Amino acid sequence: MERKKITVLLGFLLSGICILGGCDSKEERSAKKAVEQELEKLQSSDSQTIQDCIDTQNLLPSSEYTDEAAEEIADIFSLFYKNFSFEIKKVRVDKDNDKGYVQTNLTTIDAHSLAKDYSAALLQKQIEMDASPGEVEFSLSDSCLLLKDKLESKDYDTETVEFSIPLEKEADSWKVIHTEELDSILTGNFADYMSDSRLLSPSEIVAAHFDTIGNFDSEQLKIYLSLDELMQTDDAFNNSLATAITQQIEKSFHYQITEEEQEENNAEVHATITSPDFETILDSYKNQLTKWLKTSDSLSAGAQGRRDKERELLISCIENNEDTVSKDIVIRLFNDGVNWKIQMDPDIAEAVFGDIPSAIESIAENIQ
C-alpha cells in the first residue's frame, strides 16, 4: 500500500514538473537535435565541416578558390569560428505541415570590427601596390592572407543575436533550412558590412592613405612620387637626390585630422600636415653655393668641378635639413557607392610632400 502511494505521488510530481517546465515531445527533441548537430559543425576543428555548414560566399566572396589559397581559406574558417557558441531557447514544431523553428542565441565574432580592419588593410595594400616596381596583381591568395593575418593578430570581441532557425521535415528527419538570412547571421553579417560603402568613414580613409605613405621606405617613396623623373641627369646623382628627398619625407611627415564634415555623398576632412620645408632647403643651398663661388676653389674647379660641387651641396642641404613646415588643408572626398574616394588636388600633394617638383626645377638648369 505504501509503495502504491509513493508511485502515485511520484507520478503527480513528474506531471507537475512537465506542466511547469514543459516536457519536449519526441518531434521537438528531434528538431532540437537537428539544430544542435548543424551548429556544432561550426565548432569543428575540421575546416571542411565548417564550410559544409554555411554559404562560403558570405565570408570569402569569390568565384574562384584556387589550390594556392586552400590552406589559408581553411585557417580563416577555423579562426573565424573559434569562439562561436549557441544556446537553444525554444523549440516549436507543426507536425501537420512538417514545419518548425528553433529559437536560439547565436554568438559569433564581432564581424563589423573585423570588416573595418580588413577593409582598411585592403585599401593600404592597394596604395602599397602603387609603390611597387612593375605591375603587381592582388590575388585571392593575397586577400586570404590579409584576412587571416587580421584574425590571428587581434582577439576580436563577440556579438550575440537571437534568431529563429527554420526547419522542415524530410521523411522521418528534421532538417535546418539554410536561408540567406541564416547564413548571413552565422557569418556575423560580414559580407553585408564589406559591401557597405560607408563602412570606413572619410577620416578613416584619409588616415589609411597617410599611414601607408608614412610607413613607406625610401624605395617605395621614390616609385610612389616618381622622383626618378624629376631631373634628367645621370643615374648616380638622380638616385642620390631621390634618396635624400625620400629620407627627409620619412623623417618629417606627420598628420593630424582635426575635423570631418559629411553631406550626402560628399565629405571634407580637415587636417594639419607636417612635411619637409623644401623652401628652406633651397635657400640654404643657394647661400652655401654663393659663398663657395666666391672662393678660389671655385675658380680652379672648372665647369665639371663646379657642377659636381653644386650637386654635393644640394644633397648635403637636403640630408642635413631639420626644418619642417605645417599646413592646414581640406581634403575632399566623394562616395561613389563603393567607398569614399579622395579627390586629389595640388594643395594636398604639396602639403604632404612639400613642393618638390617646383623646388627641384628651380635649380635643375644650373646643375645639369
Contacts of 64 (CB under 8 A, 6+ apart): 140
Q: Retrieve residue 17's grid coordinates.
A: 514538473
Tens digits of residue pLDDT in 270-302:
999 998 888 888 899 999 999 999 998 888 888
* Per-residue pLDDT at 7: 47
Which residues is 107 bridged to in the sheet? 85, 160
User: How far is C-alpha 361 from the geometric centre of its chain's CA atoms?
Assistant: 38
* Per-residue pLDDT at 70: 67
CA distance 333 to 247: 29
Q: Is 353's pLDDT higher than 60?
A: yes
Q: Which of 55, 50, 48, 64 is nearest to 140 (CA)?
A: 64
**End-to-end CA, the chain:** 120
**Domains, the chain, ordered by start:** 22-194 (3.10.450), 202-367 (no CATH)
Output b/e per residue, 179-214; b: 16+ Cβ within 10 A.
Answer: eeebbbbbbbbbbebbeeeebbbbbbbbbbbbebbe
pLDDT band, residue 21 (cuts 50/70/90): very low
pLDDT band, residue 141 (cuts 50/70/90): confident
Tens digits of residue pLDDT in 39-86:
999 988 887 888 788 776 666 665 455 566 667 787 888 899 999 999
Q: Is 36's pLDDT higher than 90?
A: yes
CA distance 333 to 335: 7
How many CB atoms neighbour CB 24 within 10 A? 14
pLDDT over 90 for what percent of the chain? 47
Q: Which of 174, 156, 188, 171 is nearest to 42 (CA)?
A: 188
Residue 21 φ/ψ, nearest 5 degrees: -95, -20
Task: Report the DSSP pairing between strands 266-276 and 254-263.
Answer: antiparallel
Are 211 and 285 in contact by the 8 Å Cβ rule? The answer is no
Sole residue written with cell 574562384: 64
pLDDT band, residue 364 (cuts 50/70/90): low
Q: What is the mean pLDDT of residues 163-171?
A: 92
